[in-house]
Amino acid sequence: MIIGVTGIFGSGKSTVACLLKKKGFMHINADTIGHALLQKPGMRKKVVHEFGKGIISGNRIDRSKLKQIVFHDPSQLKRLNRIMHPAIIREIENIIGKNKDKDIVLDAPLLIELKAHHLVDKILVVKIKKSVQLQRLGKKKKYTQSEIKNIMKSQLSQKEKLKYADIVIDNSGTMIQTQKQMEAMR
């Protein structure tokens, strides 16, 4: 079985995916794949051609420099996604193809936006109350308020994602409450 875990930014998708990993599922993280692909020579060349040499530090793409461009301008994020997403999907398909005998959890924030839900047997949407989402994102201090707004604008709303859900986990409460929902899942 392949379960695709998705949800809005800051909902706790990775937390839920890790709980499935603890249940024995092989974990595929779309963001991690994207980060790795970004440093491969062919992809690096495409991204640098699109966004300029200013995003390079040493011989690697500096993700913090790229983030300054794409998370402050939704049109720039769309440009990056047009380059990255097909390669990410191909890599996910390759990994799934090599592991057909395993239960897999695909941690993919943009699973529905990419129209990649054909890759999974079930879609698990992690939902969260907006106040809890913003509180958790604020604690991480990984993104500015402007970046948070632009990332949220680039994704489907929670209400839209929930329309695709086979399974819903509410991650607005404590970790114990989330774990209990996961244990009841089947």
Mean pLDDT of the region 17-40: 92
Residue 103: give the domain boundaries.
2-184
pLDDT at 114 over 90: no
Identify the CATH number of the domain in which residue 31 sits.
Answer: 3.40.50.300
| pLDDT score of 141 | 66
Residue that the structure tokens 């994102």 belong to: 137
| pLDDT score of 186 | 59
pTM: 0.88
pLDDT at 149 over 80: no
Q: How many domains does the chain have?
A: 1
pLDDT in tens, 37-79: 998 999 999 999 999 999 998 888 988 899 888 888 888 988 9
Map 90-101 to HEC letters: HHHHHHHHHCCC
